[in-house]
Amino acid sequence: MPTSVCQNGHLGKSYYDGLYQSLSLTSIWLRKMEKKMFFLFGILFFKISRPLIIIMIWAFSGCATAPENSHVDNFEPDGYYEPLPSIGKKGYLIKQLASEVYFFSTGVYNNLFIVTSDGVVITDPIKGKGKLLKKAIREITSQPIRFMIYSHSHIDHIGDAHLFADDGVQIVAQVETGKALKKYKDKKRPLPHINFGTNYSLSIGGITIELIYPGEGHGEGNSIIYIPSRKIMMYVDTVTPKSVPFKNFAYTADILSQMKGIEKALKLDFNVYIAGHLHRPGSKEEMKEVLAYYHASKKASIEAIKKVSFLDVRSKSKTKDVERLFGEYLDAVAEECYRILKPNWKQRLMGFEAFTKGHCDIWIAYHRTQKAP
């Protein structure tokens, strides 16, 4: 045996080097094969056991992927609460409110449409729900859609307007809505063909629809859609039945104008109104109740401003940052405003815990920038 391999009865260095290299290469090859085999075996195992895995995930997660609008066992609402209805596989529900007038809802957003002998009038083609609205209308009638009314310019309510405009539908909206849409240049929200100022009457198939602009309020051109002969109204975003207004009074452009708009709406003769949100229509009494909350929150904010002292907040604060200190003061006022409202309103209207402090913030800002009426 050569000395490079065996010296004095022992294996030589070159032998060990060669053996080490061979073992190393073999080890690398085995690891690669192991990964491939593991990968292939893993795929096979997953295919065989996938049903079992799905069942186990479903069982241990407590049905984490429960259907939309399903209820959680042992749910305890924090204040007044109305459960959403089961929309079902269709993704919407329809309810006839009166002769020729239908309520359409996806559970969170809603509108109405009117079916006449001369064609259909729709309102607010909800973003992402336009195809469902078309389907819902076809459940009721084969009449063509003639007119589409925008309640205001916001994309969440009219974001699918293009699906109807392409069919030659005439669009009606308040002038300020038209101006806003011209500025936005959004192809999915086509410009109105008919722009009105304060009032407009649309008559079709023996039904008259009155469009009334009560002032800026929630947003550009936000208008009341009123059907006198059916005593039905649609007034979007400002006053949802059995709910406090959405965040910051639905991101109001003018809080006082918004309240005056509700007051004007209440002077009309109606029994049912559509708010644009929630799964059901509201009543005139429910609109009055929400307006009462507006007034109560305004009053509570004034009381809170009088009660909370900036000097007291500063004496308890640990910050030397002036901006942060003032923020602590405003938070303390909003907290006091919320505390004043809580006993009378938490159990009366939904959303109290979510949005009331934001409403107090809006009023506090108003009182600091202009004289409270």
Tokens of 351: 């959303």
Q: Domain count for the chain, please give it.
A: 3
On whether residue 119 sits in a domain, the answer given is yes
DSSP three-state, residue 173? strand
Last residue in a domain, options 280, 315, 339: 280
Structure confidence at residue 66 (pLDDT): 42
Residue 155 in contact with residue 186, Cβ under 8 Å?
A: yes
Structure confidence at residue 73 (pLDDT): 54
Average predicted confidence (pLDDT) for the chain: 86
In percent, the amount of the chain with pLDDT more than 70 equals 79
What distance lies between CA 353 and its chain's CA centroid?
17
On whether residue 288 sits in a domain, the answer given is no
* 29 plus 102 within the same structural domain: no
Structure confidence at residue 18 (pLDDT): 46
* 40 plus 100 within the same structural domain: no
Q: How far is CA 186 from CA 158, 178, 193, 256, 285, in A?
A: 11, 12, 15, 30, 38
**What is the C-alpha separation between 355 and 4, in angstroms, rounded?**
87
**Number of neighbours of residue 73 by Cβ within 10 angstroms:** 7
Band (pLDDT 50/70/90 cuts) for residue 77 is confident
* 42 plus 121 within the same structural domain: no
On whether residue 365 sits in a domain, the answer given is yes
Report the pLDDT averaged over residues 166-184: 94
* 12 plus 152 within the same structural domain: no
* 50 plus 185 within the same structural domain: no
**What is the C-alpha separation between 153 and 237, in angstroms, rounded?**
12
DSSP three-state, residue 117? coil
Report the pLDDT averaged over residues 2-24: 42
Report the chain's terminal Cα–Cα distance, integer Å: 112
* 231 plus 340 within the same structural domain: no
On whether residue 83 sits in a domain, the answer given is no
Q: What is the DSSP string of 117-134?
A: TTEEEEE---TT-HHHHH
* 110 plus 252 within the same structural domain: yes
Structure confidence at residue 52 (pLDDT): 53
Last residue in a domain, options 280, 308, 341: 280
Each residue's pLDDT tens digit, 282-310: 999 999 999 999 999 999 999 999 999 99
pTM for the full predicted model: 0.79
* 100 plus 214 within the same structural domain: yes
Closest CA to 122 of 167, 89, 178, 154: 167
Residue 341 in contact with residue 300, Cβ under 8 Å?
A: yes
Any residues with CB less than 8 A from the CB of 197 and at least 6 apart, and which?
A: 174, 175, 213
* 187 plus 254 within the same structural domain: yes
On whether residue 230 sits in a domain, the answer given is yes
On whether residue 164 sits in a domain, the answer given is yes
Extended beta strands in 175-246, E state: 194-196, 199-204, 207-212, 224-227, 232-235
Residue 278 in contact with residue 287, Cβ under 8 Å?
A: no
Each residue's pLDDT tens digit, 246-265: 999 999 989 999 999 999 99
On whether residue 42 sits in a domain, the answer given is yes
On whether residue 88 sits in a domain, the answer given is no
Domain that holds residue 37: 6-60
Structure confidence at residue 49 (pLDDT): 53
Report the pLDDT averaged over residues 270-278: 96
Band (pLDDT 50/70/90 cuts) for residue 150 is very high
Last residue in a domain, options 219, 251, 280: 280
In percent, the amount of the chain with pLDDT more than 90 equals 73
* 159 plus 255 within the same structural domain: yes
Tokens of 43: 């795929």
* 98 plus 220 within the same structural domain: yes
Band (pLDDT 50/70/90 cuts) for residue 88 is confident
Q: How far is CA 343 from CA 152, 287, 346, 348, 358, in A?
A: 35, 20, 6, 10, 17
Each residue's pLDDT tens digit, 93-136: 999 999 999 999 999 999 999 999 999 999 999 999 999 999 99
Q: Which of 6-20, 49-63, 131-145 has the lowest mean pLDDT?
A: 6-20
What's 166's domain CATH number? 3.60.15.10
Structure confidence at residue 167 (pLDDT): 78
Each residue's pLDDT tens digit, 297-343: 999 999 999 999 999 999 999 999 999 999 999 999 999 999 999 99
- Residue 147, strand partner residues: 121, 170
Structure confidence at residue 90 (pLDDT): 93
Residue 190 in contact with residue 103, Cβ under 8 Å?
A: no
* 31 plus 142 within the same structural domain: no
Report the pLDDT averaged over residues 212-216: 94
**What is the C-alpha separation between 24 and 37, in angstroms, rounded?**
20
Structure confidence at residue 76 (pLDDT): 72
